[in-house]
């Protein structure tokens, strides 16, 4: 028998970093603090969650969203007792293949379906299109080690020149021009990149291409194409190499930068330096443009990465849940919608503690509309 529960803010407290307040008030948003700092409210969007249907869902794909999925599953099992979802973090390519093959109920991917994959997904979804739902946003930090330099400002153009080997020393005049007053050392720059194929690398290179004004001409892809530096295995390997190497610079998901206590560069996209924070990343996401049609919510990454919106930190990794718009059996459709609705509402309360960014309200509403239309 179907039970109706309502999405409320779920206090998924991680290591005491997330503090919820405002309970019992008429305010339908949650005020939260991170390490004592007041941050913008996370809307709870009190919408009905129709619990029930298939008790054991399965999903597979992106490793970048694994931490977020853990938070979502915890919210789902609390919201809908007895319901479960198993997520296998095997990589985006595997997740898309397993979804198209009908082995899992939905897939997780660091990029939307390619045209050929979208055509194959129509067969999996009984003649209906699959939708790309951008559910998880994770900032990518540009991390560095420069002892004595407490704040470092870089631009898309400078990053493109650094990661292609055109700028090789930290006291280069172009870096100094953005960091007036900073005591930049006369040290060689050691670029650290992901040695393995990675969606983070793909998105970082897409950012370099969009934000550098044509300086980055190496293209994108899951393999680093800069031609300089040393590789680290996975994000932990990159973070460790930067932490140990004076003069090193690399790129990792925000959570790894936080865990290692690494210096994170501010990015100046043309409207002044912007520090990576929950609010600056949410500002960028809130201004993101949708290029998909209808409820297929594909983000225009080029526009996002090239944005010079004031206060926005544009270097954000977008990961999608790939779902059938129609074609599920009724029991599976009910459970998929319940899980995704919970993820888009109550599950957002645990995002920052896991290195992700809670959805801005405007974007959250677009997702909820799409989720409700799944049949």
pLDDT, tens digit, for every residue of 176-192?
999 999 999 999 999 99
Question: How much is the pLDDT for 177?
Answer: 97
Top CATH class, 139-281: alpha beta
| Helices of type H across 186-329 | 199-211, 234-244, 254-260, 278-286, 301-306
CA–CA separation, 159 vs 177, rounded Å? 14
Question: How much is the pLDDT for 204?
Answer: 96
CA–CA separation, 344 vs 37, rounded Å? 24
Assigned token pair, 318: 């977008």
CB 216 within 8 A of CB 237: no
19-25 long-range Cβ contacts below 8 angstroms, 24+ apart: 20/349
Assigned token pair, 72: 């979502």
Question: How much is the pLDDT for 134?
Answer: 95
Question: How much is the pLDDT for 25?
Answer: 27
Question: How much is the pLDDT for 46?
Answer: 62
pTM recorded for the entire structure: 0.79
Question: How much is the pLDDT for 210?
Answer: 97
Share of the chain above pLDDT 70, in %: 88
Which is nearest to 348 in space by CA: 360, 336, 332, 338?
Answer: 360
What CATH superfamily is the domain 3-136+321-372? Periplasmic binding protein-like II (3.40.190.10)
Angle (CA) 245 247 251, round 5°: 80
Question: Which residue spans of the chain are classified as CATH 3.40.190.10?
Answer: 3-136+321-372, 139-281
233-237 long-range Cβ contacts below 8 angstroms, 24+ apart: 233/195, 233/196, 234/194, 234/196, 234/198, 235/194, 235/200, 237/194, 237/195
Angle (CA) 288 110 107, round 5°: 115
Beta-bridge partner residues of 267: 154, 274
Assigned token pair, 365: 């509403």
| End-to-end Cα spacing for the chain | 19
* The residue to which tokens 């954000």 are assigned: 316
Question: How much is the pLDDT for 6?
Answer: 34
| Predicted confidence (pLDDT) per residue in 200-215, tens digit | 899 999 999 999 999 9
| Predicted confidence (pLDDT) per residue in 227-275, tens digit | 999 999 988 999 999 999 999 999 999 989 998 999 999 999 999 999 9
Per-residue pLDDT of the chain (375 residues; tens, 9 = 90+): 333 333 333 333 233 233 322 222 223 233 233 333 333 334 444 678 999 999 999 999 998 899 999 999 999 999 999 999 999 998 888 999 999 999 999 999 988 999 999 999 999 999 999 999 999 999 999 999 999 999 999 999 999 999 999 999 999 999 999 999 999 999 999 999 999 888 889 999 999 999 999 999 999 998 999 999 999 998 899 999 999 999 999 999 998 999 899 999 999 999 999 999 999 998 998 888 999 999 999 999 999 999 999 999 999 999 999 999 999 999 999 999 999 999 999 999 889 888 899 988 878 999 999 999 999
Assigned token pair, 63: 């490793």
């Amino acid at each position: 028998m179907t039970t109706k529960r309502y999405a409320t803010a779920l206090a998924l407290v991680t290591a005491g970093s997330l503090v919820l307040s405002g309970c019992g008030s008429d305010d339908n948003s949650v005020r939260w603090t991170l390490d004592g700092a007041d941050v913008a409210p996370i809307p709870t969007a009190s919408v009905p969650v129709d619990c029930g249907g298939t008790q054991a869902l399965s999903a597979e794909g992106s490793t970048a969203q694994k931490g977020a999925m853990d938070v979502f599953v915890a919210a789902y099992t609390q919201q809908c007792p007895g319901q479960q979802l198993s997520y296998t973090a095997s990589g985006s390519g595997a997740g898309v293949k397993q979804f198209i093959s009908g082995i899992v109920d939905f897939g997780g991917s660091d990029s939307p379906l390619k045209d050929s994959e979208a055509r194959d997904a129509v067969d999996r979804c009984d003649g209906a299109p699959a939708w790309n739902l951008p559910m998880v946003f994770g900032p990518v930090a540009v991390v560095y080690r420069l002892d004595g330099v407490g704040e470092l400002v870089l631009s898309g153009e400078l990053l493109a020149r650094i990661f292609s080997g055109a700028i090789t020393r930290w006291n280069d005049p172009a870096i100094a021009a953005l960091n007036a007053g900073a005591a930049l050392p006369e040290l060689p720059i050691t670029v650290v990149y992901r040695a393995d194929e990675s969606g983070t690398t793909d998105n970082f290179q897409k950012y370099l291409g969009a934000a550098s004004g044509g300086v980055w001409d190496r293209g994108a892809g899951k393999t680093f194409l800069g031609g300089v530096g040393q590789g680290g295995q996975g994000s932990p390997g990159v973070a460790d190499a930067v932490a140990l190497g004076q003069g090193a610079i690399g790129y990792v998901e925000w959570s790894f930068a936080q865990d290692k206590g690494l210096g994170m560069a501010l990015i100046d996209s043309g409207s002044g330096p912007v520090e990576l924070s929950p609010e600056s990343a949410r500002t960028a996401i809130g201004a993101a443009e949708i290029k998909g049609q209808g409820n297929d919510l594909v983000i225009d990454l080029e526009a996002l990465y090239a944005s010079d919106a004031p206060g926005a930190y544009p270097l954000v990794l977008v990961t999608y849940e790939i779902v059938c718009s129609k074609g599920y059996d009724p029991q599976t459709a009910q459970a998929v919608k319940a899980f995704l609705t919970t993820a888009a509402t109550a599950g957002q309360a645990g995002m920052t503690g896991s290195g992700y960014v809670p959805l801005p309200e405007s974007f959250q509403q677009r997702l909820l509309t799409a989720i409700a239309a799944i049949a």
